[in-house]
Amino acid sequence: MTDQKTPDAAPEGWVDRMPSKVRPYLRLMRADRPVGMWLLFWPCIWGSLIARPDGTSPQTLYGYWLLFLIGAYVMRSAGCVYNDIVDRDIDAKVARTASRPVAAGIVSVRSAWLLLVGLSLIGLVVLLQLGLVAILTGMASLALVAGYPFMKRITWWPQAWLGLTFNWGALVGAATLAGTIPMSAVLYYAAGLFWTLGYDTIYAHQDREDDALVGVKSSARRLGDASKKGIAIFYGIALMLAATGLLVAGAGWGTLWLLPASAHMAWQVATLDINDGHRCLMLFKSNVWTGLLFALPCLAA
């Protein structure tokens, strides 16, 4: 079989110009769909900013941010490879995911495992640069990563598990800069959990009908027509937790810098049409900007 693009990949990009033998592996890593990397990266920035000691130089922050970016890229890629290995039989039955390289038989399971090991080793090298507390914190996330692909088989809320996993960088970022994990970072991590629960519910509506056919559970299926209300509640809780974290960190009036994030999230809910897959994908991708907007008030902490 030949290389195939997934429906939600970028229309054209650098992956399409790579040699044909390499492209399936890059698609397996979601290199043509970088949104997930940014959603994994931004919580690292939140934690590093909200927990940074007084007098931390910009150069120190930038150095760690580069490591976080590399780590987010390779670990998100590793997570996608692992997810595709575990879900290959389900993916083959869902229209949006049937062309994924492992599900389509373009990349063998053995080759996918080798790629996963290689990416994980790069991630380990990055993690070892961050200090003992951050290393231990990062290693603790492996149980969440390992369990995630199975959650859709046993709970209606796999998106909550993804929230626990994808926002772990807030704790790692805090541990890297502060050598500990302050309550402000824990609260921001919790905010990220509900943020993810909201945006991944939007994303899951693309597969709602196919998921029902193959017996896969999701918050989109569980909430159904009440999804708009549910997502609004999730986003509202995220904003309240983030505001509390900022106040605990001493941001004071800087907490008001959450207002742009609030407006952006309100726009998502107001314009959401759960029966329009293209709209759901667009709104999901817009959360790259939400992550940035959540980082801005952390500068005041």
Q: Are 46 and 176 in contact (CB under 8 A)?
A: no
Q: Is residue 148 a part of any domain in this protein?
A: yes
Residue 229 lies in a domain: yes
Distances in Å between the alpha carbon of 37 and those of 53, 105, 155, 276? 26, 25, 25, 24
* 183, 248 contact by CB (below 8 A): yes
Q: Are 255 and 246 in contact (CB under 8 A)?
A: yes
For residue 18, being part of any structural domain is answered with no
Residue 4 binned pLDDT confidence (cut-offs 50, 70, 90): low
Say if residue 8's pLDDT is above 90: no
pLDDT the model gives residue 7: 60
Quick one: pLDDT at residue 97?
86
In 3D space, the residue among 166, 140, 149, 154 whose CA is nearest the CA of residue 238 turns out to be 166
The pLDDT value recorded for residue 9 is 60
Average pLDDT rounded to a whole number, residues 165-189: 98
91 Cβ neighbours under 8 A, 6+ residues apart: 84, 97, 98, 100, 102, 103
Any idea what the CATH number is for the domain that residue 56 is in? 1.10.357.140
Q: What is the pLDDT of residues 133-168, one digit of tens each?
A: 999 999 999 999 999 999 999 999 999 999 999 999
pLDDT beyond 80 at 3: no
Going by pLDDT thresholds of 50, 70 and 90, the confidence category of residue 169 is very high
* Within a domain: 4: no
What is the tens place of the pLDDT at every residue in 206-263? 988 888 888 889 999 999 999 999 999 999 999 999 999 999 999 999 999 999 999 9
**Whose structure tokens read 């900007």?**
289
Angstrom distance (rounded) from CA 60 to CA 47: 14
CA distances from 97 to 7, 44, 73, 103, 246 (A): 8, 29, 21, 8, 39
Mean pLDDT for 97-117 is: 94
Tell me the pLDDT tens digit for each residue of 260-287: 999 999 999 999 999 999 999 999 999 9
Residue 158 inside a domain? The answer is yes
Q: Which of 50, 44, 79 is nearest to 63 (CA)?
A: 44
262-281 per-residue burial string, b: 16 or more CB within 10 A, e: under 16: bebbeebbeebebeebebbb
Determine the structural domain holding residue 290 and report its residue range. Answer: 25-300
What is the pLDDT of the chain when averaged over all its residues? 94
The number of domains in the chain is 1
Q: Is 45 exposed, middle or buried (0-12, 13-18, 19+ CB in 10 A)?
A: buried
For residue 112, give Cα distances in angstroms to 28, 82, 156.
8, 8, 28
Q: What pLDDT band is residue 5 in, cutting at 50, 70 and 90?
A: low
Can you tell me the distance from the alpha carbon of 49 to that of 56, in angstroms, rounded to the nearest whole number?
10
Q: How far is CA 85 from the centre of its chain?
A: 19
- Indicate the SS3 state at residue 50: helix
- 108 within domain boundaries: yes
- Answer whether residue 179 is part of any domain: yes
